[in-house]
A and B are shown apart, each in its own frame.
Chain A
């Protein structure tokens, strides 16, 4: 089942890569800054994700969360990790294009945006929702705990929104 997931989303990656190329092939600082912001946020998301999974493991070993809750959290974090992998693959393709230059058809930035929101953001929200219903876990504490990932996600979304606005104004697109 996991291999089917990867197969499907590798096809999706191919479809969104053109969007990434379109974004990051802009021959100007805007593209560089957007790419850097997306790359930094991706790294931060991975750091926080690792810390949270580690905390889940420790909590389960200490019997602070049940086996059922641990398994449910693992399914959600697994989906999150897969989403991050898909997003990282798109960023890597963008990096190649940044190095080689060139322009591609406009209007495809939306696809990368969609991948990020459907794969990374939705998986993150599902994780936080699950954390919110585990018995004994303080809701206010969870809000502060996941703030790091949320901020990184917002950074990426802001970068893409800014790039969208630039794309609409720019005369570079074919």
Chain B
């Protein structure tokens, strides 16, 4: 069940951030969008590097 909860927490956190977007001005949204994409790419690169290293931790 830990895995299920992990994904549930992730999406709940995402929803909180998503609510802020509607209230942003166009300029704020443009800046936010750039930062969000940079974060997305960085996270994907982190995942790929981790997979390449085969460095899963011991539970």
Contact = CB atoms under 8 A, between A and B. Distances in A.
Interface string B15-59: 101100110001001101100110111011011101100111111
A172 interface: no
B48 to A, nearest CB: 6
B26 to A, nearest CB: 7
A156 to B, nearest CB: 13
A86 to B, nearest CB: 12
A103 interface: no
B36 A50 contact: yes
A42 interface: yes
Contact of B29 (A40, A56, A59, A73): A40
Chief secondary structure at chain A's binding surface: helix
Contacts, number: 131
The SS class assigned to the B binding surface is: helix
A174 B11 CA distance: 44
B56 A145 contact: no
Interface in A19-78: 36, 39-40, 42-44, 46-65, 67, 70-71, 73-74, 77-78
A67 B7 contact: no
B41 A61 contact: no
A5 to B, nearest CB: 14
Interface stretch (A9-17, A114-122, A136-144, A162-170): A136-144
A70 B4 CA distance: 15
Contacts of B17: 47
A145 to B, nearest CB: 4
15 contacts: A36-B29, A44-B14, A47-B18, A50-B36, A50-B43, A51-B13, A53-B43, A55-B10, A57-B47, A63-B57, A70-B51, A84-B37, A137-B3, A147-B11, A148-B15
Interface of A: 36, 39-40, 42-44, 46-65, 67, 70-71, 73-74, 77-78, 81, 84-85, 88, 95, 131, 136-138, 141-142, 144-148, 152
